[in-house]
Structure 1
Amino acid sequence: MTEVEMWEPTVESVMTKDVVTAGESTRFKDLVALMTEHRVSGIPIVDHDGMPVGVVSEADTLAKQEYQGGMARMPLVFNRKRRAHWRKSAGRSAFELMTAPAITISEKASVTAAARLLAEKKVRRLCVVNLHGALVGVVSRRDIISTYLREDEQILADIQEHVFRRGMWLFPGTLAAEVSKGVATLEGSVEHRTTAQIAGQLTQKVPGVIGVKNKIRYELDDTVSSAM
Structure 2
Amino acid sequence: MREPTVASLMTAEVIGASPDTSFQDLVRLLEENKISALPVVEDDRPVGVVSEADLLPKEEFRAGAEEPPGLFAGRAEKHRWAQSAGLTARDVMTSPVRTTTPDTPASKAARELAISGVRRLFVVDDDGVLVGVLSRRDLLSLFVREDADLRRQIQDEVFGRTLWVDPLTIGVTVAQGVVTLSGRLERRSEIDIAEHLVRSTPGVVEVHNNLRPEWDDSKPPRQTEIFG
Kindly indicate whether residue 196 of structure 2 is the aligned counterpart of residue 201 of structure 1.
yes
* 1:24 shift after superposition: 1.0
Match of 1:64 in 2: 58
Residues 170-222 of structure 1: CA deviation (Å, up to 9, x unaligned): 34445342211111111221122221122111111211111111111112233
Residues 83-121 of structure 1: CA deviation (Å, up to 9, x unaligned): 323211111111111110110011111111111000111
Unaligned runs of 5+ in 1: 1-5
* 1:150 shift after superposition: 1.2
Q: Distance in 2 between matches of 1:148 and 1:65?
A: 38
Match of 1:181 in 2: 176
Q: Distance in 2 between matches of 1:75 and 1:174?
A: 72
- Which of residues 32, 53, 71 in structure 1 aligns to 2:47? 53
Unaligned runs of 5+ in 2: 224-228
Kindly indicate whether residue 140 of structure 2 is the aligned counterpart of residue 145 of structure 1.
yes
Match of 2:73 in 1: 78
Task: Check whether the contact 2:69–2:77 (CA below 8 A) recurs between aligned residues.
Answer: no
* 1:122-133 → structure 2 map (5 Å cutoff): 122-133=117-128
Match of 2:113 in 1: 118
Match of 2:102 in 1: 107
Q: Distance in 2 between matches of 1:216 and 1:91?
A: 62
> Any idea what SS the aligned residue of 1:115 has?
helix
Name the TM-score, length of structure 1 as normaliser. 0.88
Kindly indicate whether residue 88 of structure 2 is the aligned counterpart of residue 93 of structure 1.
yes
> Any idea what SS the aligned residue of 2:113 has?
helix
The farther-off stretch of 90-99 and 77-86 is: 77-86
Q: Distance in 2 between matches of 1:54 and 1:158?
A: 40
Question: CA 1:116–1:76 in 2, change beyond 3 Å: closer, same or farther?
Answer: farther
Task: Check whether the contact 2:156–2:167 (CA below 8 A) recurs between aligned residues.
Answer: no
Residues 122-157 of structure 1: CA deviation (Å, up to 9, x unaligned): 101110122322111111111111221111122123
Task: Check whether the contact 1:174–1:190 (CA below 8 A) recurs between aligned residues.
Answer: no
Task: Check whether the contact 1:25–1:93 (CA below 8 A) recurs between aligned residues.
Answer: yes
Compare CA radii of gyration and give the structure with the larger one: 2
* 1:226 shift after superposition: 5.6
> Any idea what SS the aligned residue of 2:56 has?
helix
Task: Check whether the contact 1:70–1:87 (CA below 8 A) recurs between aligned residues.
Answer: no
Question: CA 1:174–1:42 in 2, change beyond 3 Å: closer, same or farther?
Answer: same
Question: CA 1:227–1:80 in 2, change beyond 3 Å: closer, same or farther?
Answer: farther
| Letter of the structure 2 residue corresponding to residue 47 of structure 1 | E
- Which of residues 3, 7, 14 in structure 1 aligns to 2:2? 7
Name the TM-score, length of structure 2 as normaliser. 0.88
Identity of aligned residues (%): 43
RMSD (CA atoms): 2.0
| Letter of the structure 2 residue corresponding to residue 135 of structure 1 | L
> Any idea what SS the aligned residue of 1:23 has?
coil
Q: Distance in 2 between matches of 1:147 and 1:178?
A: 19
Q: Distance in 2 between matches of 1:215 and 1:11?
A: 33
- Which of residues 206, 209, 216 in structure 2 aligns to 1:214? 209
The farther-off stretch of 199-208 and 97-106 is: 199-208
Task: Check whether the contact 2:155–2:167 (CA below 8 A) recurs between aligned residues.
Answer: no
Q: Distance in 1 between matches of 2:193 and 2:70?
A: 54
